[in-house]
Amino acid sequence: MDANLLKILFSILGFQFLFVSLFLLQSKKGKAISNKVLAVVFLMISIAVINLYLIIFRIDIQFPQLLFIDDTFMFAYGPLLYLFTQSVIFKDFRLQRKSFIHFIPFLASLFIIIIIFLFSKTESISQVTNQLNNLHVPIYFHIGSLLMLSHIFYYLFKSKQEIKNVIGKVKSLYSAFNQDNFKLLKFILNCFIVLFSLSLIHSILPFLGVKNGLLITLLLMILFMFYFINSVLLKMLNHSTNKSGAMTWSIFKEKEKYAGSSLSQTDLKLFMNKLENHMKTKERFLDSDLNINDLSTELDMTSKVLSQVINEGYSNNFFDFVNTYRVEAAKALLTNQVDNKQTIQEVMYDSGFNSKSSFNTAFKKFTKLTPTQFKNSLQKGSTS
């Protein structure tokens, strides 16, 4: 690739990450703490891109030691993304003193890098820089990169697992929740997994003797970072202003399993009949804000017993159990509607859903069709 074109790509990329970082710091959309944490991540990436630019194009600076400071950021990305995940999914997220324990490796590596290069001769630093420019990377650089990447992947998968656990908990307690924040969060985490996977391949290639592939992996990382930062910017511009997480930390930590439960099969059947009758006669599923605590109070049973009835009696969680009634109501509205001009959105609200994405997802899950496909199939059937 032409050197001038590569310089332009690096310059634009560094500027874009810096721009999005500043955008997040002043943005009124979303939760302020989430924006600030993600802004720090993007600022670090911007600095890393600038440093890589200086190294590759052999641009002299007064203190070349600073070119290696960004390597310590590899120990900060993981904890920052984990805290970002928690800030998005928990309503009551606050930075606590124990949160800074995650940054001990970053602070330790930063201290070591500063000490080493403060007492190193400038010539030796220039020698290492020249080795990097000529793709003769010292073996300890690759080993260090692998350790740093392992640290990042640990936190990325820890974040993904936290999302999975929270969604499972939410679906056991609520009949609806806004998944827009989760979609953006998952996209960001998945992009970081791809980006650092490319970085991992870049670090492994020299061990395999494939040094010619370093330029290819570097180019792939640059192109993917362009896609990533521009996609994030567009998604944030179109993102809703919902600042709430899925639930509070205290609710998430509550135990809900049924150890020692004495619910017999006879009681289970009785509770199931009582639940079904209540859902059909009172049509409680039409309440988009229905939660397990409200429904259990109406049925004069504890929320844990109701959760056990739904889990054991229907092999379902509360979220899907309620949505089965909503989908049936939507199907009935679509099948029996007198006014063919009734929109899908009107059917969505009339059947108890409050989100188009959750309506489409639930409808397709239980019918294998989207609401539009179901409506079209009915129209075809009536004209055939």
Indicate which CATH number applies to the domain containing 174: 1.20.1070
Q: Is there a single domain that holds both residue 204 and residue 62?
A: yes
In degrees rounded to 5, what are phi and psi of residue 131?
-65, -40
pLDDT per position as a tens digit, 282-297: 999 999 999 999 999 9
The count of domains in the chain is: 2
pLDDT per position as a tens digit, 271-284: 999 999 999 999 99
Tell me if 134 is assigned to some domain.
yes
Tell me if 105 is assigned to some domain.
yes
Q: What Rg value do the Cα atoms of the chain yield, rounded?
A: 27
Q: Is there a single domain that holds both residue 173 and residue 280?
A: no
Residue 125 pLDDT more than 70?
no
Residue 367: give its domain's CATH number: 1.10.10.60
11: tokens are 């310059």
Which of these three, 249, 271, 292, is where a domain ends? 249
Tell me if 255 is assigned to some domain.
no
Q: Are 334 and 375 in contact (CB under 8 A)?
A: yes
Q: Is there a single domain that holds both residue 201 and residue 61?
A: yes
| Residue 285: Cβ-neighbour burial (10 angstroms; 0-12, 13-18, 19+) | buried
Q: Which domain holds residue 377?
A: 261-383
Q: Is there a single domain that holds both residue 56 and residue 180?
A: yes
pLDDT per position as a tens digit, 105-123: 999 988 888 887 777 665 5
Chain centroid to Cα 200, Å, comes to 21
Q: Is there a single domain that holds both residue 109 and residue 171?
A: yes
Report the distance separating Cα 21 and Cα 136, nearest Å.
33
Residue 8 pLDDT more than 50?
yes
110: tokens are 């930063």
Tell me if 254 is assigned to some domain.
no
Q: Is there a single domain that holds both residue 91 and residue 231?
A: yes
Mean pLDDT of the chain: 84
Handedness of CA 73, 78, 79, 83 (dihedral sign): positive
Termini Cα distance of the chain: 60
Q: Which residues of 83-109 are buried (b: 16+ CB within 10 A; e: fewer)?
A: bbbbbbbbeebeeeeeeeebbebbeeb
Region 84-93: mean pLDDT is 91
Tell me if 281 is assigned to some domain.
yes
Q: Is there a single domain that holds both residue 278 and residue 143?
A: no
Which of these three, 249, 271, 287, is where a domain ends? 249
Residue 329 pLDDT more than 50?
yes
Q: Which residue has the higher pLDDT, 123 or 160?
A: 160
Q: Is there a single domain that holds both residue 61 and residue 99?
A: yes
Q: Is there a single domain that holds both residue 52 and residue 175?
A: yes
Q: Is there a single domain that holds both residue 19 and residue 84?
A: yes
Instruction: Find the largest Cα–Cα distance for the chain.
Output: 86
Tell me if 266 is assigned to some domain.
yes
Q: Which residue has the higher pLDDT, 335 or 122?
A: 335
Tell me if 256 is assigned to some domain.
no
Q: Is there a single domain that holds both residue 235 and residue 139?
A: yes
Tell me if 80 is assigned to some domain.
yes
HEC string of 93-129 equals CCCCHHHHHHHHHHHHHHHHHHHHHHCCCHHHHHHHH
Q: Is there a single domain that holds both residue 61 and residue 122?
A: yes
Which 3 state secondary structure label does DSSP give 90? strand
Task: Check residue 323 and give its pLDDT.
Answer: 95
Which of these three, 200, 217, 249, is where a domain ends? 249
Report the distance separating Cα 170 and Cα 176, nearest Å.
9
Handedness of CA 325, 326, 327, 330 (dihedral sign): positive
